[in-house]
Amino acid sequence: MTNKIKEFNIVIVGVGGQGLLTMLQIVAEAALLNGYEVRTSELHGLAQRGGSVEVHIRFGEKIFSPLVSAQRADLVIALESQEALRAGYFASTKTKFLLNQHIIPIPLAKALTAEEILTSLRKISKDVNLIPASEICRKAVATDVVAGIYLLGVSVFKKILPLEEDALIFAIKKIIPEKYLELNLKALNLAKS
């Protein structure tokens, strides 16, 4: 890779069970393959079961902390739209948001509309993108478990995430178990069109 990035900070948010740890591993492997230092942070345990999940991935020339600092995220990927609001803590005017247009209701709370979420986030950054990843995946491959892979594809193909396509594919092949590989590669290809 010719144009090396000094530092790139990603926060991925979502709900336990949406595959955030898999995404984290894929991005980390791809970044390593592209010659970067990489560090990540994740949480395990009960937090996974339907609770909010937040993982951090940082890569670049020299990376010390495994955590993204407040307002330092270059990219926020939200696998559930409402969760993007929690990641606002990590965002600044320069942060790009990719939101899966997908709401998982919070028990006993009224779900926010996409409009409300976008209005809030646009107070921080103008670059907020709502993408119907779950819907696209459900239509094409009959499941939205690969919505995260689709969004990773979008971020790499649109050069939002400065990693090479080949590195991403290599990382997916490395991390995803054989029997789900085809499904994941299909989801990645959907992001191309």
Spatial CA neighbour of 102 closest among 57, 48, 138, 126? 138
The correct pick among 34, 82, 101, 134 for binding another protein (CB under 8 A) is 82
- Determine the interface stretch with another protein among 86-94, 129-137, 162-170, 183-191 (rule: CB under 8 A): 86-94
User: Using the rule CB under 8 A, is 115 a contact of another protein?
Assistant: no
Task: For another protein, give the closer residue by CB, 119 or 189.
Answer: 119
Count of all residues that appear for the chain in the document: 193
Q: Quote the CA–CA distance of 184 and 189 in Å, as a whole number.
A: 9
User: Using the rule CB under 8 A, is 86 a contact of another protein?
Assistant: yes
The correct pick among 2, 109, 142, 193 for binding another protein (CB under 8 A) is 109
C-beta of residue 117 within 8 angstroms of C-beta of residue 136:
no
Which residue, chain included where needed, has tokens 């006993």?
108
User: Using the rule CB under 8 A, is 16 a contact of another protein?
Assistant: yes
DSSP 11-56: EEEEETTS-HHHHHHHHHHHHHHTT-EEEEE---SGGGSSSEEEEE
User: Using the rule CB under 8 A, is 29 a contact of another protein?
Assistant: yes
C-alpha distance across the termini of the chain, in Å: 24
Q: How far is the CB of 160 from another protein (least distance, A)?
A: 19
Interface with another protein (CB under 8 A): 15-16, 24-25, 28-29, 32, 37-52, 62, 64-67, 69-72, 82-83, 85-86, 88-89, 91-92, 94, 106-109, 112, 120, 124
